[in-house]
Amino acid sequence: MKFFIGLTTIWLASTVVFAAVEVLPQDPAVTALGIESSAEQRALFREEHGLNDPPVTRYLRWAGGIVQGDFGTSIVSERPISDELGPRVYHTAILALGGVTLSVIVGLPLALIAGRRPGGPFDNTANLVSLTLHAVPEFGLGVVLAWFFASELDVLPLVSSGIDSGNPLGYVLPILTLGIMGVSYVYRFSRVGVIEAGQAPFVRSAALRGVSPRRVTTHHVLPVASSAVINVVALQAIVLLSGVVVVENVFAFPGLGTLLITAVESNDLPVIEAVAVVTSALLVAINLFADSLVVLLNPRTRRTRG
């Protein structure tokens, strides 16, 4: 059922994106040929690319191409959009996965420690650091990290453009920036999950039976906290993707974010549509995967679904 809801969501998103692009005053013929082009040249361009067809016909042709993996052709570079989307999606996926992994590795243990004694010195300090990180914009943190690691220490490249030529160090600063920004979200929501799990009857019952604190944490508290982490990552997927766009542009990272900004600046409408649809599909996939993972990690949820 959720799968069909996801497909419906992607279809609605594609429809909204196409309609939004349709109402823009920008003429694709002018974008492709330039303002110096003549009216006859623009009319010929529209005829060759089917821009004179009714909107419904063009939408069905565009949507049918997407189903077959054909996102059309860029009106600026005149290259197939699919050829450029593949590497961009791959790079952005590595960046997002690396940032989320780093935020979970750091944020979840901090939440487990702080949640055991709410209001204690460690909890108060961690909350202060978390709120401070939450207040710092992604580009600000990225600039600081670039200044320290690239300019002062000279151990990492300042920009990530070398990734396409096989330099993996270009991933480090963007992943570090996105991961540090994600620690705040993971910590705060995981902390709530740890506190709630610690007050649950099944945890108190396990402690009264003489179960060691470490086993209580790993077998009872951690699954609940992990569910909270997965839920927040899924719910904040839009925030994470917007953060990816900012981080990619700070470090000239060759991902979907920089492709979108370039397309907006050059009024390349087909590329904008393609990136929007791919982003919508990624959001749906993340939420479906997160929901399935929560069921697997949380025994209570698994029994309820069963």
The answer to whether 179 and 106 have CB atoms below 8 angstroms apart is: yes
- Which residues of the chain fall below pLDDT 50? 304-306
| Per-residue pLDDT, 18 | 86
Tell me the C-alpha to C-alpha distance, in Å, between residue 42 and each of 28, 59, 75, 265. 9, 21, 13, 21
| Amino acid in position 238 | I
| Per-residue pLDDT, 173 | 94
pTM score, two decimals?
A: 0.81
| Per-residue pLDDT, 172 | 93
* Domain map (residue ranges) of the chain: 2-67, 84-305
| Per-residue pLDDT, 236 | 63
pLDDT tens per residue across span 182-240: 888 888 888 887 887 777 777 777 766 777 777 777 776 777 677 767 777 776 666 67
| Amino acid in position 295 | V
Residue 286 forms beta bridges with which residues?
none
| Amino acid in position 9 | T
d(CA 144, CA 47): 50
Burial annotation 85-118 (CB, 10 A radius, 16+ → b, else e): beebbebbebbbebbbebbbebbbebbbebbbee
CATH top-level class for 84-305?
mainly alpha
| Per-residue pLDDT, 144 | 93
Tell me the C-alpha to C-alpha distance, in Å, between residue 50 and each of 16, 22, 54, 83. 20, 14, 9, 22
| Per-residue pLDDT, 294 | 67
